[in-house]
Each structure stands twice: as C-alpha cells, then as structure tokens.
C-alpha cells in the first residue's frame, strides 16, 4: 500500500514537473501569462488556448487610413520571411470568421495614450487596437515577441506559429525612451544606423539621439559650410578616414526612423567638443587660424569663441539647416565638458544658443551643465554627471532626461575583463544597468520632473556594428523596460529570467551579445 502511494506520488510529481517545464518555456507554450515579454506589459490576462498563424492569414485595416497601410505592411514584412507566407493586407469590409490579424484604430480605451495598445487573441484571430498608428506599431513589437524566436529569421522556418489566447493592455511609463549613438568619435554607415534603429525598435524605444559633432569629427553635411564635412568629416579616433552623412542620406535615416515611430534628435556639441569645426573654419578661432584635426580621445580642450559675432552667425546656419532636416521638436546643443570656456562666457553663450534654437522653431536639449544658464521651461536638460546640475534644472522648471553615466552609459565596460568600453563611471553589469528607478535615483528629481530615459553609447572604443552590439546587448532591453514599465512592476530576479529567454531571439537576429554570467541564458531549442 505504502509502495503504491509512493509510486502514485512520484508519477504525479513527474507530471507536475513536466507541466512546469512546458509553461516555463515561452516559445513552446500557449499560455500568454508565461510569455517572456520585454518590456513587461501593464496587464496580461491569459485564457490558456492558442491562435495559430497559418497560411492564408490576412492583415485587416479600416479603409482610408494610408498611415495604417504602412504599419500593416511593416507587420507583413516582419512575418513573411520566416513563415514563408505572402500575407495579404485587406480592408475590413468583408471580415472573414477567422484567421486574420485586425489592426484597429479605436478610442475605446482612453488609458492607452499616444503609444498604448490592447491586444486580444482568440483561437480564431488577433485584434490589435490603439488610439494611434504609433500604438499599433508598439503592439506589433509585442506580437513579434509572442511568436517563437524563429519568427525573426530571414529564411523560411518550420512553425507552428502559435500565440497564447487572452488580452494584453499596455502603455509606457515615460514618453521619452531613447538611446544615443556617437557617430563622431567613430563614424558608422547609414546601414549601421538603420540596424541600430531596428534594434531599439524591437524594445519599443522611440528616440534615437545622434551625436553628430565632436572634436574628432563633423558628420552632417551643412550646405552653407561645406568645409565642415570636407575637412572635419575626414577622420576619426585612431586616424581612420571618418565619413559623414549627406543631407539626402540623413533625410532617408530620419524617414526610416519615422516609419518606426522613432524621432531622431540631432546633436551638435558646443561650445566645447568642437575641434572638428575649429579645424574646418578658420574664422571660428581667435586668430582666424584653423586648429589641427584631432584623432585622440581627450576631452575638454576645445571651445568656440563666445565673444565673436561670427560664431553665432555660423551656429544659426547650422541650426537652421538641422531644423530643416528634423521633423521632431528638439535640437540637442551639447554643452558638456566645456572646460576651457570661462563660466562667465559659457552661461550667456548657452542662453544665446537657446534663443537661436527657439527662433528656428525648435526646442533645446542640453547636457546637465547647461542648467547653469537661464533656461526656458520648454528646454530639457540631460542628466549624465552631476546631480546638482540636474536638480538645478528642476528648480528652473525644466524637464530632465535621465542618463546617469554610472547606470546608463552603454560604453562602460560590463566587467574589468571585458575588452571594449571605458570604465571612468564604473563597470555596468546587466543587473547594475537594470536595478535603478529614474524617479528615485536623485533626491529632488521626481517622476513629474522627468521626460524619460536615454542610454548613450559613446564610440571611443567601438569601430563597427558588431562591437556596438556587444555593448548594447544585453543591456539595452533593460533600459527599454525602465522607460516603459512602471517601477512597481519591475524586479531584477524576475526580469533576468525573461532576459534569459531572449537568447534565442538574439541568435536568430544575429545580435552579437555579451553572455553575462548574471543572466540564466536559456536555449529554447
């Protein structure tokens, strides 16, 4: 009798264990509540069944919505290569009973805001609704992650392509969720920047900040000052040939980002970090003699002449041309580490530049040092270094972008033994990068003072996209989650499990990630 009971117990235990294995494995399960989504959604209600994306599936949109046509095409383009289907996009007129994905603009749920979405999956179909095409687009990123990782393949793969049934309601915690790429220290091609855009898109970020000018290079064509790129664009850190984006190429990048509901924010750093401009345009210098091009990695040695009218005429030309290339509201003017600009010159310089940006119809962003100046309430300060600079900004009524170097700088090494990156702000392992809350990090800066978060990647040590990826991944999904998911719903111990399940997705997407020992990586195959 006793033996029978033990055997019964063991069998039951075994069955329970097998069940646990199934539900803990998101790519095989159809339980929506076990989906390892990053960023974590606001609410997930699972019903336990599954929808199977099968041949003949149709994407449906309402008639007369050209912007939705593009979004629907984006979804089809994401699904076609791996499924081998050629998914049709149709209007909602004659809705079939099953096997469709409906993308629906609806104001029924006013919680969703500009970027939220509601996803309802039944065994017959998928309905993704949002108040805006942007919300639909963010929801499409969720659909990608609900499907098996192989959906990211560019070659036909074996299905089945199942999604668990239930409902997800989701919207972001912060409106600004970005990453910065420094294309000045090393130059990266437009194709590399598109790859970067695709990678941040997958985690629902909405801003790409491009650092376009520094001591080592000027990377954007300014038609009124061609020497900037002819001379200033001709090199980079280490003395390589550098490069720059023509305005045509840059416009294409802006459109590529806009098609993914990502705003490109251009930055020209000033008055420091300007050697490439000083080497290109003699009149920017006190003696009208150009400086030498610079290919080292020191900071803080260059400055524009704050007392020369020529400087402001030049800056007005630059900002006017950048404005014409920029559909988004912001121009970033840097303002960091101007160590050889006297404070009494720096303060009025930033105020004058702010006037120029506003007169050109844009709003200004500056690094945290710019809060020394009188700032308009529409200006935004980006906290990277000194908490006192950021809190001064708050006391002046400006909003803050949170990019604390010791937590959010993607160019910091993970660990003393990792090759790429620097470590002046410390080592940022994956858990260190994740375990902080923008709204409690700095006393005096509360959620209502914060526009959002940004993780910058400075490029002193990286020279190609694969090196970039190794610093971006696996930290980037964590920064995306900090921006999207409310702090109360975030917890490293739970997050690291979801991150572990991303490994196969990284593999299929050919992402060169750092396999941190902090993460329980799962091979789902």
Q: Which residues bind ligand ACM (CB under 6 A)?
A: 336-337, 367, 384
Number of other CB atoms surrounding residue 280 within 10 Å:
24
Q: Residue 335 Cβ, how far from ligand ACM at the closest point, in Å?
A: 9
Q: How far is the CB of 333 from ligand ACM (least distance, A)?
A: 12
Q: What does the alpha-carbon distance between residue 322 and residue 265 come to, in Å, rounded to a whole number?
A: 10
Q: In the complex with ligand ACM, which residue's Cβ is closer, 151 or 401? A: 401
DSSP state of 408: H
Question: Closer to ligand ACM at the Cβ: 263 or 370?
Answer: 370
335 torsion bin: left (phi>0), alpha (psi -120 to 50), beta (else): left
Q: Closest by alpha carbon to 376, among 391, 346, 396, 352?
A: 396
Cα–Cα distances in Å, from 284 out to 279, 309, 310?
9, 10, 7
Nearer to ligand ACM, 82 or 180 (CB): 180
SS (H, E, C) 292-343: CCCCCCCCCCCCCCCCCHHHHHHHHHHHHHHHHCCCCCEEEEECCCCCCCCH
User: Considering the complex, what minimum distance in angstroms separates the CB of residue 317 from ligand ACM?
Assistant: 25
Cis before residue 277, ω within 30 degrees of 0? no
Residue from 254, 249, 363, 269 nearest 318 by CA: 269
Q: What is the DSSP letter of 269?
A: E
Cβ-based nearer residue to ligand ACM, 203 or 384: 384
| Tokens matching residue 333 | 């003017």
| 8 A C-beta contact, residue 183 and residue 212 | yes
* Strand-strand pairing, 399-402 and 450-457: parallel
Report in angstroms how near the CB of residue 334 gets to ligand ACM at its nearest.
8
Q: How far is the CB of 127 from ligand ACM (least distance, A)?
A: 44
Distance separating alpha carbons of residues 48 and 53, to the nearest angstrom: 16
Residue nearest to ligand ACM (CB): 336
Catalytic residue among 118, 337, 481, 504: 337
Of 218 and 409, the one with the shorter C-beta distance to ligand ACM is: 409
Tell me, yes or no, if 429 is annotated catalytic. no
Smallest separation, CB 433 to ligand ACM (Å): 16
Please say which residue, 249 or 299, places its beta carbon nearer to ligand ACM. 299
- Mind telling me the catalytic residues? 337
């Amino acid at each position: 009798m006793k033996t029978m009971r033990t055997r019964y117990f063991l069998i039951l235990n075994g069955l329970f264990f097998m069940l646990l294995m199934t539900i803990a494995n998101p790519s095989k399960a159809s339980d929506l509540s076990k989906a390892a989504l990053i960023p974590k959604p606001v609410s997930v209600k699972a019903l336990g069944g599954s929808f199977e994306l099968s041949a003949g599936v149709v994407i449906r949109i309402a008639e007369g919505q050209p912007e939705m046509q593009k979004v629907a095409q984006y979804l089809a383009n994401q699904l076609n290569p791996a499924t081998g289907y050629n998914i049709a996009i149709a209007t909602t007129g004659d809705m079939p009973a099953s096997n469709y994905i409906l993308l629906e603009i609806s104001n029924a749920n006013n919680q969703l805001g500009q970027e939220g979405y509601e996803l309802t999956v039944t065994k017959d179909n998928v309905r993704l609704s949002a108040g805006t095409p942007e919300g639909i687009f963010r929801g499409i990123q969720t659909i990608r992650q609900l499907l098996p990782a192989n959906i990211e393949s560019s070659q036909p793969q074996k299905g089945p392509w199942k999604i668990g049934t239930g409902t997800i309601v989701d919207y972001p915690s912060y409106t600004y969720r970005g990453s910065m790429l420094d294309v000045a220290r090393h130059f990266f091609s437009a194709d590399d920047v598109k790859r970067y855009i695709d990678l941040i898109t997958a985690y629902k970020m909405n801003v790409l900040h491009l650092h376009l000018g520094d001591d080592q290079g000027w990377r954007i064509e300014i038609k009124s000052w061609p020497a900037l790129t002819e001379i200033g664009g001709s090199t980079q850190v280490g003395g390589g040939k550098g490069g720059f984006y023509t305005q045509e190429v840059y416009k294409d990048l802006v459109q590529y980002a806009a098609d993914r509901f990502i705003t490109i924010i251009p930055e020209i750093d000033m008055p420091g970090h300007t050697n490439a401009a000083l080497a290109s345009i003699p009149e920017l210098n006190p003696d009208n003699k150009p400086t030498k091009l610079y290919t080292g990695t020191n900071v803080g040695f260059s400055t524009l002449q704050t007392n020369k009218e020529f400087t402001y005429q030049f800056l007005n030309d630059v900002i006017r041309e950048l404005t014409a290339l920029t559909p988004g509201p912001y121009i970033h003017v840097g303002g960091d580490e101007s160590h050889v600009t006297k404070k009494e010159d720096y303060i009025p310089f930033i105020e004058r530049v702010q006037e120029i940006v506003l007169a050109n119809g844009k709003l200004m962003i500056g690094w945290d040092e710019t809060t020394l100046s009188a700032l308009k309430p529409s200006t935004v300060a980006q906290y990277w270094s000194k908490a006192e600079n950021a809190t001064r900004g708050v006391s002046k009524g400006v909003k803050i972008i949170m990019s604390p170097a010791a937590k959010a700088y993607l160019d910091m090494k993970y660990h003393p033994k990792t090759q790429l990156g620097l470590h002046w702000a410390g080592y940022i392992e994956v858990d260190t990068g994740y375990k902080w809350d923008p709204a409690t990090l700095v006393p005096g800066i509360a959620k209502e003072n914060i526009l959002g978060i940004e993780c910058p990647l400075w490029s002193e040590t990286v020279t190609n996209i694969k090196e970039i990826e190794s610093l971006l991944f696996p930290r980037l999904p964590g920064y995306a989650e900090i921006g999207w998911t409310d702090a109360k719903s975030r917890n490293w111990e739970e997050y690291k499990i979801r991150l572990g399940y991303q490994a196969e997705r990284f593999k299929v997407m050919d992402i060169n990630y750092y396999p941190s020992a902090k993460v329980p990586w799962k091979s789902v195959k």
